[in-house]
Amino acid sequence: MTAPDHLLLHFTANGAYGEGGNELLVLERGEGCHVFDSNGRRYVDGLSSLFCAQIGYGYGEEMAAAAAAQLTTLPFNTNWGTAHPPALELAAALVERAPEGIEAAFFTSGGSESVEAAWKLARQYHLANGEPQRTKAIARDIAYHGVTLGALSFTGVPRFKEPFGRPAIETRHVANTNPFRAELEGEELTRSLLAELERAILEEGPETVAIVIAEPIQNAGGCLVPPPGYWPGLREICDRHGILLVADEVISGCGRLGEWFGVARYGGRPDLITIAKGLTSAYAPMGAVLAGSRVVEAMRRPGVTLLHGITFGGHPLAAAIALRNIEIFERDGVLENVRAREPYLRRRLEEELLPLPLVGDVRGDGFFFAAELTPDGGEGRFEPEQATRLVKRIVPPLLLEHGLIARADDRGDPVLQIAPSLVADEAVLEEIVVAMRDVLAAAGDEVGTIAGAAQGR
Ligand SMILES: Cc1ncc(COP(=O)(O)O)c(C=O)c1O
């Protein structure tokens, strides 16, 4: 198919399709860790369908059985003043697997809604404690926290925000954790990042700040791993100033880093955790906010009403599928698979990608890695137009040609990112690594040819 006549595509230059333009990739079928397009071409899904398909595409029958059982029992009920067994059971199952101190779940239909709900819970917590002046948020540069107007305030990508006017929530952005681009490393980097955060809080007025929100590993910018002690440091600063700490785990949660919650890996103890995407392995749309005891206690005080609700939040069908997803994770050793194969994936990525002239860095944890693309294979930087050309025009057709679904991104420095299905074995990981190498080698040749032609001009 060349053009989607009646469908508007998300985050896409919709005019780029049609006569003489881009070919539209239509994926029709999934099998294990692979997907097939409408022409029958096979791709290895190196991105788990935008960080969602944790268990791949091979559990359709089992998920359909869970869905059928729920749909023939109770197809729908809300969580507005009532409940149903799948929501109650799922909330308990998530709390059981969450970091210490997490006590309850509030369900949503996706990631942006989870971030909005976390903000509302935080605001109501501060109101219940007689601190209505805590109206500000601190987030990090280039971070993506979603697109609904509240979540968009936290998102640190200026071009996604500018068309929509003043952010709904006053948000200050501080540095993210990019060890490749930072001048310091290790604990020194941690100290400097935490000092910057605390300076920002003091400048804003600590009594006006409601939350600090961060991803355990920041996705935008390319799998930005926190330096040692960063998450415990965030906790200390938030405690010192009465601020709630929110871990946005929409990507890093649900097994992506080999843990149910990625913060566990970095010693984080957040007050609120947002999840979505992998909660059902995307067999149904669902998100959640998990709340710590302080927040839950405030919501349960006499006279306090939680002024937030989403009709489909906690839909019984999605909750039944999420419960089955947890069962599958535990029965089939999904977290164990990530932990066991992470060293292999890291080693093979480093072996194959670091020697390429276009790759400056390979980084990540779990089944979540990025290669940062640089003009010299070192720490040089592409001009912004060159970076955009590379990730928007050069890499995407090469990915299709090499049968790999991965993400070329230029929200920060240009990167090619992968997030394989959490059930991928070594053969699948190898297929992804080799395709990634071939794509980046070919992209490097193309960039070299363009640069050479420009010099000769
Ligand atoms: C960290 C993070 N938060 C929030 C969101 C928003 O999630 P959704 O697209 O489900 O609204 C995303 C989406 O990619 C995300 O990566």
pLDDT exceeds cutoff 60 at 286 = yes
Decide: 281 and 58 in contact? Cβ < 8 Å. no
Number of structural domains, the chain?
Answer: 2
Domain boundary among the residues 331, 346, 369 is at: 331
Same domain, residue pair 354 and 324: no
Q: Do 226 and 312 belong to one domain?
A: yes
**pLDDT, tens digit (0-9, with 9 covering 90-100), for 213-267:** 999 999 999 999 999 999 999 999 999 999 999 999 999 999 999 999 999 999 9
Question: Which protein residue's CA is at the shortest distance from atom 3 of ligand 1?
Answer: 145
Residues 255, 256, 259, 260: is their CA dihedral positive or negative?
Answer: negative
CATH of the domain at 127: 3.40.640.10
Dist. CA 174–CA 113, nearest whole Å: 23
Same domain for 280 and 197: yes
> Do 118 and 236 share a structural domain?
yes
pLDDT of 194 higher than 70:
yes
Which residues constitute the domain of residue 352?
Answer: 14-55+334-456
Residue 182 lies in a domain: yes
Q: Helices in 4-56 by DSSP H: which ranges? A: 48-51
Contact 34, 276 (CB under 8 A): no
| pLDDT band with cut points at 50, 70 and 90 for residue 82 | very high
Q: How confident is the model at residue 457 (pLDDT cuts 50, 70, 90)?
A: very low
The reply to whether ligand 1 has any atom less than 6 angstroms from the CB of 115 is yes
Domain boundary among 303, 331, 359: 331
- Rounded to the nearest 10°, the torsion over CA 367, 372, 376, 377 is -20
Report the pLDDT value the prediction gives residue 1, as an integer from 0 to 100. 57
Q: Which residues of 403-428 are buried (b: 16+ CB within 10 A; e: fewer)?
A: bbbbbbbbbbbbbbbbbbbbbbeeeb
Q: Residue 455 pLDDT more than 90?
A: no
Q: Could you write out the DSSP letters of every residue in 75-100?
A: S---SSS---HHHHHHHHHHHHHSPT
Asked if residue 9 is part of any domain, the answer here is no
Specify the ligand 1 atom closest to the Cα of 249: 1
Query: Is residue 5 situated within a structural domain?
Result: no
Determine the atom of ligand 1 nearest the C-alpha atom of 252.
1
Give nearest CA residue, ligand 1 atom 8.
111
Q: Please give the Cα distance from 125 to 317 (Å, whole number).
A: 30
Write down the pTM of the prediction.
0.97
Whole-number Å distance, alpha carbon 215 to ligand 1 midpoint, is 11
Same domain? 448 vs 389: yes
Same domain, 116 and 144: yes
Any ligand 1 atom below 6 A from CB of 285: no
- Report whether residue 290 contacts ligand 1, using a CB cutoff of 6 Å: no
| 18 within domain boundaries | yes
Res. 329: pLDDT tops 80: yes
User: Taking residues 187-210, what's their average pLDDT?
Assistant: 98
For residue 425, the domain's CATH number is 3.90.1150.10
19 with 141, same domain: the answer is no
178: CA distance to ligand 1 center in Å?
Answer: 20
The confidence score (pLDDT) of residue 5 equals: 85
The yes-or-no verdict on residue 287 having pLDDT over 80 is yes
Average pLDDT over all residues of the chain? 96
Pick from 289, 313, 331: which residue ends a domain?
Answer: 331
Distances (CA, A) of 248 to 96, 97, 245, 316, 425: 19, 16, 10, 24, 28
pLDDT average, residue stretch 203-210: 98
How far apart, in whole angstroms, are the C-alpha atoms of residue 27 and residue 25? 6
Same domain, 114 and 208: yes
2 within some domain: no
Is any ligand 1 atom within 6 A of the Cβ of residue 111?
yes
Query: Does residue 1 form part of some domain?
Result: no
